[in-house]
Amino acid sequence: MIRIGISGWRYDGWRGVFYPKGLAQRRELEFASRAVDSIEINGSHYALQTLRSYRAWYDATPDDFVFSVKGSRYLTHMLRVRDDKARPAMANFLASGVLALEEKLGPMLWQFPPSFAFDPERMERFLALLPHDTQSARELAREHDSRVKQPWCETRRRRRIRHAVEIRHDSFCTPEFPALLRRHRVALVISDAVADWPYAEDITSNFLYLRLHGSQTLYGGSYSDKALHRWAARLEKWASGHEPADAQRISPRRPRKAAHRDVYCYFDNDKKVKAPFDAQRLMRLLQNA
């Protein structure tokens, strides 16, 4: 299974270009979710979202739609997952309404800032905190505090929860890091960017998570046909349970063979309205392969 999506959907510059002129803002998610397979919820990174919002997003999207949810920067950027506030912060994030997405809840994305260097003990504690199913998430969510105004700590049934980590500091480029992710069944984000961030294609879980941040500038520039054909070939290889022959890994260890792997790929080149159109172009390439 390959899902192609976009990072967020609420951008002023998209109106009248990607979104039809005159489309009500409240209907933008409805429109976008029928143009791509998945969408990253970005607002959850900057502040706790509300139960009302999560329920509205659920209702606005097709039955087979999947969201990824970007984890709280309060955990990754401010607390830097290093003190006793990390667990309460995780509980608040989970209690804010995330579980109301039910079967539309896809991977959770945890992005660390460029100033965050690899600390094995700190990362071990963080990864151990991540719940891998909705039942575990529900129990942790019940530890929330008063900062969550309308907590939601319920789920209709037990489902798995996947996690992916995006790094931006070169100190993570040691085999110890992908080995740590592998032990906790967490994916390493394959991050394509015109920036001084590490690029690695290590397979550390039973799924892959890609973020394409722009081909010419950070968060900008349309991907060329040649680049999209290359990405299509790589996505198909990963989805088939293999890896590209020229895979760029941190670790010398080859991934275990698998019958297939799920792949999530999000375009984050949202400047000048490139992301949704690039996503649709890549979707067409995969459909016609």
Task: State pLDDT tens for residues 67-90.
Answer: 999 999 999 999 998 878 999 999
Bridge partners, residue 188, by sequence: 165
- pLDDT of 221 reads 82
- pLDDT of 233 reads 97
Are 61 and 41 spatial neighbours (Cβ–Cβ below 8 Å)? no
- pLDDT of 84 reads 85
Q: List strand residue ranges (DSSP E) for the chain, in order.
A: 2-7, 38-41, 66-70, 105-111, 163-166, 187-188, 190-192, 207-212, 262-267
Write down the CATH number for the domain with range 2-288. Answer: 3.20.20.410
Cα torsion 223, 228, 231, 236: sign: positive
Which residues have CB under 8 Å from 16's CB, separation 6+? Answer: none
Q: What is the mean pLDDT of the chain?
A: 94
Torsion of CA 102, 60, 44, 214, to 10 degrees: 110
- pLDDT of 255 reads 86
Q: For the chain, which ranges sit under pLDDT 50? A: none
- pLDDT of 139 reads 97
- Report the candidate in 136, 155, 130 with the shortest Cα–Cα distance to residue 54: 155
What burial class does residue 45 get, using C-beta atoms within 10 Å of its C-beta: 0-12 exposed, 13-18 middle, 19+ buried?
buried
Euclidean distance between the first and the last CA atom of the chain, given in angstroms as a whole number: 14
DSSP-derived secondary structure for 214-241: -SSBTTB-PPPHHHHHHHHHHHHHHHTT
